[in-house]
Amino acid sequence: MSELHRGAPRRITVVGEEILTRRCREATEFGTPELTRLIEDMFATNHVAEGAAIAANQVGVDLQLFVWDMRDERGTHHIGHILNPVLDDLPADQRTLLEEPEGCLSVPGPYRVVARPDRAVVRGQDQDGNPIVVKGRGYFARCLQHETDHLHGRLYLDRLTQRERKSALREMAASQDEVFARRAARSSSAASSS
C-alpha cells in the first residue's frame, strides 16, 4: 500500500478529548495535497497502532473522513477511505443484529460486546470528490459503522451500559501504558525502515 509507506504516524486521541465528542465538519475541499497527506498519515497511524480503521478525529483533525485497512472474518482484505460518509438505514428484514467484541484505538486496551447490524452500506466521496458506495458484511460492516459513529462524536463506549463503560475505562487505565509503548516501538521501527 503506497499510502502506508508515504505517510507518517500521528498521535492518536484518547477518550476524554473533546474532539472525539462532537460531530466532525463536512469535507468541502477535495484533491488537495493536504488531504492526500492526511489520508497517507492516517493509513500509517492505523498500521502502527495495529488497527482495522481510523477516523480523522482520532488523529486530532476535525473532518468527516476515515480510512480502513483490514481483513474480515473470511480473510478478504478491505482497504480504502471515505469522506462525508452516510450510513444507509437498511430495513430490518435485510439485516441481523450481531453481538461481537469491539475495541477502539482511542480506548486503548479493552474490548466489549456491542450489538450492530451485520450489514452496512455507506455513501460518501473519495479524496477527489467522486461519489462512492462501500458495502460491508460481518466484521467489515462493524468497522464501517464504528468509524461513522466516530465522525458523529460517538465511541463504542457510548453504546455500553454505565457499568460496562466504567469497567472498560478501568481496564484501559491499567493497560494503556503497555499499548502506547507497543505503538511507539512500531512507530520507531516503521520510521527506521523507510
147-177 confidence digits (pLDDT tens) = 999 999 999 999 999 999 999 999 999 988 8
Q: What local confidence, expressed as pLDDT, does residue 91 receive?
A: 86
Determine the average pLDDT of the residues in 97-124: 95
Q: What local confidence, expressed as pLDDT, does residue 135 receive?
A: 96
- For 43, how many CA atoms within 13 A lie in the half-sphere containing its CB? 18
Which residue out of 147, 164, 171, 178 is catalytically annotated?
Answer: 147
Taking the whole predicted model, whether its pTM rises above 0.85 is answered as: yes
7-44 confidence digits (pLDDT tens) = 999 999 999 999 999 999 999 999 999 999 999 999 99
- pLDDT cut 70: percent of the chain above it: 95
Q: What local confidence, expressed as pLDDT, does residue 177 receive?
A: 86
Alpha helices in the chain (DSSP H): 2-6, 33-48, 138-151, 162-193
Give the pLDDT band of residue 74 (cuts 50, 70, 90).
very high
In terms of Cα–Cα distance, which of 173, 176, 16 is closest to 184? 176
Q: What local confidence, expressed as pLDDT, does residue 184 receive?
A: 84
Grid coordinates of 168: 472498560
Q: How far apart are CA 7 and CA 9, in angstroms?
A: 7
Give the pLDDT band of residue 186 (cuts 50, 70, 90).
confident
In terms of Cα–Cα distance, which of 89, 103, 109, 99 is closest to 138? 99
Q: What local confidence, expressed as pLDDT, does residue 2 receive?
A: 42
CA distances in angstroms from 65 to 70, 81, 193, listed in the order given:
17, 7, 28
- Angle of helix 33-48 versus helix 162-193 axis, rounded to 10: 110
Determine the average pLDDT of the residues in 62-81: 96
In terms of Cα–Cα distance, which of 64, 49, 78 is closest to 127? 64
Query: Does 17 participate in catalysis according to the annotation?
Result: no
Give the pLDDT band of residue 63 (cuts 50, 70, 90).
very high
Grid coordinates of 92: 430490518
In terms of Cα–Cα distance, which of 150, 153, 98 is closest to 120? 98
Q: Give the three-class secondary structure for 173.
A: helix
Give the pLDDT band of residue 193 (cuts 50, 70, 90).
low
